[in-house]
Amino acid sequence: MTAASSSLRDRRVTTHIGLALGLCVAVCFVTGILSHWIQHPPDWFWWPSRPVWLYRVTQGAHVITGVMAIPLLLAKLVVVYPKLFERPVIGSPARLLERLSIAVLVAATIFQLVTGLFNTAHWYPWTFFFTTTHHAMAYVVVGSIVVHVAVKLPIIRDALDAGRRRGGEQDERGPVHPGAVREEGDADDGATPDHERRLVSRRTVVRSAWAAAGVAAVVTAGQTVTPLRRLAVLAPRSGDGPQGLPVNRTADQAGIVEAATDPAYRLRIVGPGIERVLTHAELAALPQHTVALPIACVEGWSAEATWTGVRLSDLVALVDRSGANGARMVSLERGAYAVSDVPGGHVRDPKTLIALAVNGQRLDLDHGYPCRLIAPNLPGVMQTKWLARIEVS
Ligand SMILES: Nc1nc2c(c(=O)[nH]1)N[C@H]1C(S)=C(S)[C@@H](COP(=O)(O)O)O[C@H]1N2
Ligand SMILES: [Mo]
């Protein structure tokens, strides 16, 4: 390999891209683990029902930083590409370990970004495998990043220090400042037209990556931030569903059309040793409340709507006067989305409704008719549609 491949400028570029990538991965990791804990809470975990928009923000950030990481990772790979083929391939045990950690890092990161992206596109060639693997692999990515950063720390520090020493003179195109940035073995003598061409194209790659990451951020944010919605070209479900709200699985796909429209439909509220059974008309005759709450899907899209229905706490009080620790929503549907456990704090929150209407109209069949849960600050996947039963614990 020529000395040019590790010129200081290259190392600065690699370091900066690496830092941006690391930041995206860090945000992605923290928000992802959070989302996982909300859906599968460990004993010590507590998640508030307010502010109502919190999950919308954390999960939006998860998907935005995940999408931004894709061009950054590609640029990082292009910039370090020649090094991947450096000889010796194996070398010393330390070098072997370093290369192995990079291989694991790259593979695991690509896996995360690809499976995450497929998931936002609602394409699960792997269904159950997805959440568990995406979750487990997150630790692999973060672990291998820690090893990678530890190994590269001297290079990273040098590159950042050199950048600082250059001060305001920031134009990568400008003449290299002699004593300040050039090091022995640096590739000034390599500034042949060939070398220059390579640098230019590398610069193009890096700039394109920054631009692509910016565009990715904006179009992904469009799924959540209403003024940007028209830009949400990457958002599979930003288009309008019935009643101005996206649908991720229709009544037809869930196979509940018959059960949901059956006049014999009843909502069962099951408490300790007691059960109350309500028709749709009886539900509609209970005190109705209207709240504005977003649905924030784990896939990153979210949408605000105005919901009308019965307070969950009022229904729980029909079977349990002591105040619930939690309530389990059970859908008419079977399978992955059939059940969701609502924590006690959310059950007691007056904004948590069993909704019968959205945006001023009776719930569309696709939005959960006859009734569905809508709770503040919970992932969309927990907002169970087509409720059959509420179990109070
Ligand atoms: N029974 C049932 N409830 C469900 C789902 C489902 O497929 N079946 N999808 C969930 C997911 S992932 C989301 S994001 C929201 C979407 O609600 P919407 O389709 O009314 O927008 O419903 C949730 N509730
Ligand atoms: Mo969702």
* pLDDT tens digits for range 30-79: 999 999 999 999 999 999 999 999 999 999 999 999 999 999 999 988 88
* Ligand 1 atom at minimum distance from 379 CA: 14
Ligand 2 centroid–CA 298 distance in Å is 5
pLDDT at 192: 44
Question: Which residues are within 5 Å of ligand 2 (an ion), measured at CB?
Answer: 297, 380-381
Q: What is the mean pLDDT of the chain?
A: 84
pLDDT tens digits for range 190-209: 444 454 455 557 778 888 88
> Which tops the pLDDT comparison, 131 or 183?
131
Average pLDDT over residues 226-249: 65
pLDDT at 199: 56
Nearest CA to ligand 1 atom 9: 381
Ligand 1 centroid–CA 392 distance in Å is 21
* Ligand 1 atom at minimum distance from 297 CA: 14
Nearest to 352 by CA among 309, 387, 390: 309
Ligand 1 centroid–CA 380 distance in Å is 6
Q: Kindly list the domain boundaries of the chain, sorted by start residue.
A: 3-231, 243-392
Sorted by sequence, the CB contacts under 8 Å of residue 124 that are 6+ apart come out as 118, 130
> Which tops the pLDDT comparison, 105 or 324?
105
pLDDT at 174: 39
- How far CA 335 is from CA of 202, 204, 269, in Å, comes to 49, 48, 21
pLDDT at 321: 76
Average pLDDT over residues 129-150: 89
Q: How far apart are CA 93 and CA 348, in angstroms?
A: 58
Q: Which residues of 110-141 are buried (b: 16+ CB within 10 A; e: fewer)?
A: eebbebbeebbeeeeeeeeeebeebeebbebb
Q: How far apart are CA 358 and CA 367, in angstroms?
A: 9
pLDDT at 10 over 60: yes
pLDDT at 198: 58
pLDDT band at 181 (very low <50, low <70, confident <90, very high): very low
Residue pair 233/244 in contact (Cβ under 8 Å)? The answer is no
**Nearest ligand by distance to the CA of 384:** 1
Average pLDDT over residues 387-391: 98
**CATH classification of 243-392, choosing from 2.70.70.10, 3.40.50.1970, 3.40.50.880, 3.90.420.10?**
3.90.420.10
Average pLDDT over residues 133-159: 90
pLDDT at 122: 63
pLDDT at 12: 84
Q: How far apart are CA 332 and CA 328, in angstroms?
A: 13
**Nearest ligand by distance to the CA of 260:** 1
pLDDT at 170 over 70: no
Residue pair 328/88 in contact (Cβ under 8 Å)? The answer is no
pLDDT at 186: 39
Map tokens 């190392």 to a residue. 11
> Does residue 100 sit in helix, strand or coil?
helix
